[in-house]
């Protein structure tokens, strides 16, 4: 059953990322992205769905206290939002989802993730 939960969350994240509107015209893209990220928009619905999955766990991660690839994928999506890698999407749009933010913080605090972040930062320096 845990494998199914992991697959489901990864699929939702893939759908979320592929649903981000694109357009060659910057103004059209801005309008589409703002609607996508607005309350009741597709991004908000995806985040609410993910929140419902994480809010039923007994730990910070999807599988409780066990870090899974799904947690890393969710972290990647949320990190992209929080660091403004999604143009015209408010960096704080996921902040109201407490369970997702708990998972995000727990992944960010993971020693292996910290080491990878440091290695990436060193490459960029």
Average pLDDT over all residues of the chain = 96
pLDDT band at 1 (very low <50, low <70, confident <90, very high): confident
CA dihedral 13, 92, 66, 115 (to 10 degrees): 100
Q: What is the pLDDT of residues 106-123, one digit of tens each?
A: 999 999 999 998 999 999
Which position has the token pair 């766990």?
57
pTM confidence score: 0.92
CATH number at 2-124: 1.20.1050.10
Q: Is the pLDDT of residue 21 over 90?
A: yes
pLDDT band at 125 (very low <50, low <70, confident <90, very high): confident
Q: Which of 72-83 are b and which e, b meaning 16 or more Cβ less than 10 Å from the residue's Cβ?
A: bbbbebbeebbe
Structure tokens at 70: 């799904």
DSSP structural state of residue 45: H
Sketch the domain layout of the chain as residue ranges: 2-124
Q: What is the pLDDT of residues 53-110, one digit of tens each?
A: 999 999 999 999 999 999 999 999 999 999 999 999 999 999 999 999 999 999 999 9
Please state, in angstroms and rounded to a whole number, the distance separating the CA atoms of residues 105 and 60. 9
- Cα end-to-end distance, the chain, whole Å: 43
Which pLDDT value is given to residue 104? 98
Q: Is the pLDDT of residue 3 over 90?
A: yes
Q: Is the pLDDT of residue 34 over 90?
A: yes
Structure tokens at 5: 């939960």
Q: How many helices (H) and strands (E) does the chain have?
A: 6, 0
Q: Which residues share a beta bridge with 63? A: 66
Yes or no: say if 15 and 46 are a contact pair by the CB < 8 Å rule.
yes
Q: What is the mean pLDDT of residues 13-23?
A: 96
């Amino acid at each position: 059953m845990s494998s199914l939960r992991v697959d489901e969350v990864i699929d939702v994240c893939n759908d979320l990322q592929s649903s981000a509107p694109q357009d060659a015209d910057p103004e059209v893209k801005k309008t589409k992205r703002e609607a996508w990220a607005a309350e009741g928009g597709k991004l908000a619905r995806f985040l609410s769905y993910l929140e419902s999955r994480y809010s039923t766990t007994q730990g910070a991660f999807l599988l409780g206290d066990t870090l899974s690839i799904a947690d890393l994928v969710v972290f990647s999506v949320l990190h992209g939002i929080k660091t403004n890698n999604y143009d015209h999407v408010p960096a704080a749009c996921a902040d109201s989802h407490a369970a997702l933010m708990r998972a995000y913080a727990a992944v960010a605090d993971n020693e292996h993730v910290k080491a990878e972040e440091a290695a990436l930062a060193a490459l960029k320096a």
